[in-house]
Amino acid sequence: IKPTGKAFSGNLIHQPLVHMERLELLRNVCRDTALRDLSHTAVSKFVLDRIFVCDKHKILFCQTPKVGNTQWKKVLIVLNGAFSSIEEIPENIVHDHEKNGLPRLSSFSDSEIKKRLNLYFKFFIVRDPFERLISAFKDKFVHNPRFEPWYRHEIAPGIIRKYRKNRTETKGLQFEDFVRYLGDPNHRWLDVQFGDHIIHWVTYVELCAPCEITYSVIGHHETLEDDAPYILKAAGIDHLVSYPTIPPGITVYNRTKVERYFSGISKRDIRRLYARFEGDFKLFGYREPDFLLN
């Protein structure tokens, strides 16, 4: 009998290899001493706050905003038993960490943290670093949801005051101002004032400590259609829950969009931005955006 259907497409056979290669690349880049400062970070409370725990199925998920994280959180909320299906979870509960039954790793004792880091299935999702920054900028400063006024009223003015070239301009935060802030080697001075809001744009290295924590799988936003089922299977939960349907075209890398956003920005500012995010590009196999740098 000939196998039919998607389950037997080349992707599924090819997938374990793709994921092994990703982890091998990660390990090699972590060992590269030239990139040490860009690839290593302490497993601090900031990192442990990003990692959500599903004890029932022994899973840890590190949250990297702007890559479909809300959906993964919903998957884990269902697995933890707070709701019986993804559809039943009210939107306002997903990010309410008191009510969603999804503890953070930081809420456990040191020995409990160590035990979970050693034994559990651990994963997170990445996407092209520059495209992620565009997405964060659009979401937080352009569309700026009503329930998060601080991005527009506190963070944007803080960045403008420090990084806007032309002080007489009165328009809201521009992508250029944002890029200048992110590429500034002294960005931490503002980061501290912005608190945890920076999770939307700091590096994956700072969020998830991929060289310090041995992750089981790293999903890519660009291949989420294949990666999501693979992750559920690898974690042994594919029979319990499925990842919500991904709207077509939403995960595809859009070079034209990246070019458009960076078109008015000086090469110097783009180079400084790349210098800060180079670890993310190299660790996860994203190609250096030569078309912007040269």
pLDDT tens for residues 8-23? 444 556 788 999 999 9
Residue 122 — pLDDT band, cuts 50, 70, 90? very high
228 assigned to some structural domain: yes
Q: Do 196 and 87 share a structural domain?
A: no
CA–CA separation, 64 and 207 (whole Å) = 7
Domain assignment present for residue 2? The answer is no
pLDDT for 116 beyond 50: yes
88 with 229, same domain: the answer is yes
Give every strand in the sheet of 59-62, ordered side by side: 51-54, 59-62, 121-126, 217-220
Q: Within this chain, do residues 172 and 81 fall inside the same structural domain, yes or no? A: no
For residue 274, the surrounding DSSP H or E stretch is helix 267-283
Q: What is the pLDDT of residues 43-79, one digit of tens each?
A: 999 999 999 999 999 999 999 988 888 899 999 999 9
Kindly provide the b/e burial profile for residues 203-232, where b requires at least 16 CB atoms within 10 angstroms of the residue's own CB: bbbbbbbbbebebebbbbbbebebbbbbbb
DSSP 113-137: HHHHHHHSEEEEEE--HHHHHHHHH
- Do 120 and 148 lie in a common domain? no
- Within-domain flag for 242: no
What's the average model confidence in pLDDT over 251-268?
A: 94
Which percentage of the chain shows pLDDT scores above 90? Answer: 76
Residues 134 and 267 reside in one and the same domain: yes
59 touches 120 (CB < 8 A):
yes
| Average pLDDT of span 86-98 | 87
Would you say residue 134 lies in a domain?
yes
Number of domains comprising the chain: 2
Same domain, 105 and 180: no
Q: Give the integer Cα–Cα distance in Å for 228 and 245.
A: 10
Sequence-ordered list of residues with C-beta below 8 angstroms from that of 272, at least 6 positions apart, any chain: 183, 184, 185
Q: Are 212 and 117 in contact (CB under 8 A)?
A: no
* pTM, to two decimals: 0.92
**Residues 226 and 158 reside in one and the same domain:** no
How far apart are the C-alpha atoms of 126 and 280, rounded to whole Å?
9
Domain limits at 276?
130-200+254-289
pLDDT band at 4 (very low <50, low <70, confident <90, very high): very low
Residue at 32 is within a domain: yes
Does 134 lie in the same domain as 81? no
